[in-house]
Amino acid sequence: MVFVQVLVDCPTTDRLFTYTWTGEVQPGDGVWVPFAGRSLGGIVVCVLEDAPVLDTPLKAVESILHRGFLPSAYWQLLARVAHYYHATLWQVVQCALPPGLLSRAQRRVERLTGEPTLLPPAAQTLWTHLSRYQQRDVAWRELRKHVPRLEQGLRELEQRGLVRSYLYTPPPPRPQQQTIVTLLVAQAPSATPRQQSLLQSLQHLGSEVTLADFLNKTQTTRATVQRLQANGWLAVHQREVLRGQESALPPDQPKLLTPDQAQALGQIQALSAGETLLLWGVTGSGKTEVYLQAIQPLLTAGKSALVLVPEIGLTPQLTERFQRRFPGQVWVYHSALSQGERYDCWRQMLTGGPQVVIGTRSAVFVPLPKLGLIILDEEHDASYKQDRPAPSYHARTVAQWRSVAESCPLVLGSATPDLESYQAATDGTYTLAQLPVRVGGAGLPTVMLVDLREELAEGNYSPLSRTLQREIQQMMERKEQGILFLNRRGFHTFILCRGCGEVLTCPNCTVSLTYHLSDRFLRCHHCHYRRPEPEQTCPQCGSTHYKFFGTGTQRIETAVQERFPGLRVARFDRDTTQRKGSHREILDQFGRGETDLLIGTQMLTKGLDLPRVTLVGILAADSLLNMPDFRCTERAFQLLTQVAGRGGRGDQPGRVILQTYNPTHAVVEAARTHDFLQFAEPELIARRAQGFPPFGRLVRLGWQGPVEELVLIAAQTVARYLQEHEQEILGPAPALIPKVRLAYRWQLLWKLPLMAEPQHLLQALMKIDNSIFCHVDIDPIQAW
């Protein structure tokens, strides 16, 4: 006898149930189980050898419905995600499977025979409504949309024996069906002239059409079609249709690869199952073309490929290129699809042939059979890490497990690799392939540094330096386009001297201190260091322009418009892109040349290919360099390089103006010269010395609650526990956002050696004090 954990097809539960079974069973098998007095369908998620400790006796699985609904390896992957990221299997299942994959029990109302007399108003409304349906039995959910006072009306009709309501468990959801008419006999001697002409029409329509189409085009009735069918002249049957996903783009041909591309492709093709390759290529170096050509032979061999991208909405060009190269074989999967579309996409994958699925983070879980290659583009992007809800997984980590489980290689692509990937590529864990130059020989844009301290000394208080103003002027005269980039996150929270560029940092952690307006203290968000706010003048240079509080995109927009009245300016940030589709609208307008200058935040950096942009202005690099997070310089380098990479993708060379108070900062210098190594090497040395990733692991624990003392006590209790167990911790310290909606937030960073497994201690921790919810983030990458 074995014990199986079953995902039961029941809408009111949020957990897995354990049953017994005697005989063969695999994770992924569909089963029929007793549940709350009924029988329900479900999927076996895992099989346990030992009996779980429970106070109630276990029931047995009634029968196995279908073997291998999803392969066993797939469920093992989900279990691994749950274990590693300290989440429940159910949470992982919810994040991996599309909603509605399992059908849900529904309440339905059936009209019985009988004629009502003199009904009360609510009952009359429902009865009238029910009479409108052809079928006698209607879903509750459907009625609820149309009928007021439904509960009351139903009660009254039930009392009179006119309807009954019941719970119905439909079989696993069926895809959308179409009725198809197929011609069997073109010439039927015994047919009437009218019937003969119908058969001919069908032949003209291609011998196979949908019933709806056929009725419509021939102006005939279902009854007539049925007679033709009864005579054996045509067949009527149901066929599954898959919603959406057609593309009418002109196909395109593989390009002749450059020697660098050809070499990278060769390296990818030489990878063994489960191996990872880092494709490190500057922006515009032709990485996408390499992906396409790596996928081509796989499809021919009947295999499939999974392509992960940070954001579908912002990378339509990439999706289009795949659709044009592999017409009819590309599927796009992301969370903005409707439930039906997601469900269809899954069905298609489970049953379909060779194909390419392009998707965002959660697509790492799609069930592609015969997976031949996984590609994770822009692998450094933070959106691959899920924050909430649990599991807080990283798609790159899961992709690695998948590539091992499915015996296929994994390709990570980036112009600015994550230091963890880069380290793995240099120490031999990954293979490294490089594309060091842009296709067609276009140079990377020239980066000019502007020292903002000098601007101030010369009396320019505007956020636009004189150099930047001159460049915008020239851009206008040449009728070209430009981008101004501003980092707004955390802008207001660090203290910087505009006279000398000095930033106050923590003496323990070398991260910048964060200014808390509420009590005017400066705090470190890694350890618990704090100090009162400094004097009005800079301790370093005596300047009185000491406290620098940044500017938002809106202020920049105003400043630009005042200075350049004729310039057509658009803003691209959280505020202007809230509405659905407004992303694309703003970008399309810019793409068509209806605006000249785009002012935006981080969102601007993601994979845009805007050939007419010749000027990129980075308004203040400093805010990037002073986030209270050990990864902030890495982020800054990535961002600066990506922003700079937006310029000069067309024939015109690009120019980047990088404004900063700290022009000698190593990261600024590395970004200026597009030199990844100049940034990475010293940074890796520092990380190694501190035991930070990629040389150690981190777990972040976070607490949040309305009474700060209690939050702090919870954090301190856990901190003590960890210290007693000889664990290395940083904090507890206030979270980066220390108070959210009246809740105080404290956090603790737990440092672990690379190979350590924190799961055991974590489980123990969760039992210490659960009066305040503890949020666990394994391998966190963002400040909380």
CB of 542 to ligand ADP, least distance (A): 47
- Is 745 a binding residue for Zn ion by CB under 5 A? The answer is no
Backbone angles phi, psi at 654, to 5 degrees: -100, 155
Residue 289 interacting partner from Zn ion, ligand ADP, none (CB closer than 5 to 8 Å by kind): ligand ADP
- Is 524 a binding residue for Zn ion by CB under 5 A? The answer is yes
Burial call 45-54: b when 16+ CB within 10 Å, e when fewer? bbbeeeeeee
Q: Rg of the Cα trace of the chain? A: 31
Closer CB to Zn ion, 415 or 527, in the complex: 527
- Is 288 a binding residue for ligand ADP by CB under 6 A? The answer is yes
CB of 262 to ligand ADP, least distance (A): 9
CA separation for the pair 119, 153 (Å, rounded): 9
Among 27-35, 254-262, 334-342, 739-747, which window interacts with ligand ADP (CB under 6 A)? 254-262
Closer CB to ligand ADP, 283 or 465, in the complex: 283
Residue entry with tokens 């296709």: 439
- Regarding beta strands 2-8 and 17-21, do their DSSP bridges make them parallel or antiparallel, or are they unpaired? antiparallel
Locate 50 and state its tokens.
Answer: 């030992």
676, burial (CB in 10 Å: exposed 0-12, middle 13-18, buried 19+): buried
- Is 602 a binding residue for ligand ADP by CB under 6 A? The answer is no
- Is 632 a binding residue for Zn ion by CB under 5 A? The answer is no
- Is 255 a binding residue for ligand ADP by CB under 6 A? The answer is yes
In 3-state terms, what secondary structure has residue 121?
helix
Closer CB to Zn ion, 509 or 587, in the complex: 509
CA separation for the pair 81, 84 (Å, rounded): 5
Q: Which of 27, 41, 153, 284 binds ligand ADP (CB under 6 A)?
A: 284
Restricting to residues 416-445, name those near ligand ADP by CB under 6 A: 439
Q: Which of 543, 652, 678, 717 binds Zn ion (CB under 5 A)?
A: 543
Backbone angles phi, psi at 483, to 5 degrees: -130, 135
- Is 513 a binding residue for Zn ion by CB under 5 A? The answer is no
Residue 284 interacting partner from Zn ion, ligand ADP, none (CB closer than 5 to 8 Å by kind): ligand ADP
Residue 261 interacting partner from ligand ADP, Zn ion, none (CB closer than 5 to 8 Å by kind): ligand ADP
- Is 509 a binding residue for Zn ion by CB under 5 A? The answer is yes
CB of 318 to ligand ADP, least distance (A): 8
- Is 404 a binding residue for Zn ion by CB under 5 A? The answer is no
- Is 289 a binding residue for ligand ADP by CB under 6 A? The answer is yes
Residue entry with tokens 């019933």: 211
Residue 111 interacting partner from Zn ion, ligand ADP, none (CB closer than 5 to 8 Å by kind): none
35, 17 contact by CB (below 8 A): yes
Closer CB to Zn ion, 502 or 779, in the complex: 502
Closer CB to ligand ADP, 377 or 557, in the complex: 377
Closer CB to ligand ADP, 609 or 708, in the complex: 609
At a CB cut-off of 8 Å and minimum separation 6, what does 260 contact? 285, 286, 434, 435, 436, 437
Residue entry with tokens 């590309």: 330
Closer CB to ligand ADP, 288 or 421, in the complex: 288
- Regarding beta strands 481-485 and 597-600, do their DSSP bridges make them parallel or antiparallel, or are they unpaired? parallel
CA separation for the pair 659, 430 (Å, rounded): 36
- Is 705 a binding residue for ligand ADP by CB under 6 A? The answer is no
Is the preceding omega at residue 251 within 30 degrees of 0, hence cis? no
- Number of residues lying near ligand ADP (CB under 6 A): 14
Q: How many CB atoms lie within 10 A of CB 761?
A: 17
- Regarding beta strands 177-183 and 208-210, do their DSSP bridges make them parallel or antiparallel, or are they unpaired? antiparallel
Residue 257 interacting partner from ligand ADP, Zn ion, none (CB closer than 5 to 8 Å by kind): ligand ADP
Cα–Cα–Cα angle for 415, 421, 422, nearest 5°?
Answer: 65
- CA dihedral over 656, 659, 662, 663, signed as positive or negative: positive
57, 101 contact by CB (below 8 A): no
Among 55-63, 280-288, 705-713, 722-730, which window interacts with ligand ADP (CB under 6 A)? 280-288
Residue 540 interacting partner from Zn ion, ligand ADP, none (CB closer than 5 to 8 Å by kind): Zn ion
CB of 288 to ligand ADP, least distance (A): 3
Residue 500 interacting partner from ligand ADP, Zn ion, none (CB closer than 5 to 8 Å by kind): Zn ion
- Is 500 a binding residue for Zn ion by CB under 5 A? The answer is yes
Q: How many CB atoms lie within 10 A of CB 581?
A: 10
CB of 282 to ligand ADP, least distance (A): 7
- Is 502 a binding residue for Zn ion by CB under 5 A? The answer is yes
Residue 558 interacting partner from ligand ADP, Zn ion, none (CB closer than 5 to 8 Å by kind): none
Provide the residue type at 749 as one letter: L
3-state SS, one letter per residue, for 155-197: HHHHHCCCEEEEEECCCCCCCCEEEEEEECCCCCCCCCHHHHH
Closer CB to ligand ADP, 258 or 747, in the complex: 258
Query: Which stretches of 597-744 are DSSP H helices?
Result: 622-625, 632-645, 666-672, 676-690, 708-724
Closer CB to ligand ADP, 426 or 434, in the complex: 434
Q: Which of 192, 429, 508, 673 binds Zn ion (CB under 5 A)?
A: 508
Residue 439 interacting partner from Zn ion, ligand ADP, none (CB closer than 5 to 8 Å by kind): ligand ADP
Distances (CA, A) of 343 to 132, 260, 306, 526: 30, 40, 17, 43
Locate 287 and state its tokens.
Answer: 């990485």
Closer CB to ligand ADP, 292 or 749, in the complex: 292
Q: Which of 27, 28, 41, 286 binds ligand ADP (CB under 6 A)?
A: 286
- Is 734 a binding residue for Zn ion by CB under 5 A? The answer is no
Closer CB to Zn ion, 141 or 531, in the complex: 531
- Is 339 a binding residue for Zn ion by CB under 5 A? The answer is no
528, 439 contact by CB (below 8 A): no
- Is 499 a binding residue for Zn ion by CB under 5 A? The answer is yes
- Is 257 a binding residue for ligand ADP by CB under 6 A? The answer is yes
**Residues found near ligand ADP in the complex (CB under 6 A):** 255-258, 261, 281, 283-289, 439
Per CB under 5 A, residues contacting Zn ion are: 497, 499-500, 502, 506, 508-509, 524, 526-527, 529, 538, 540-541, 543
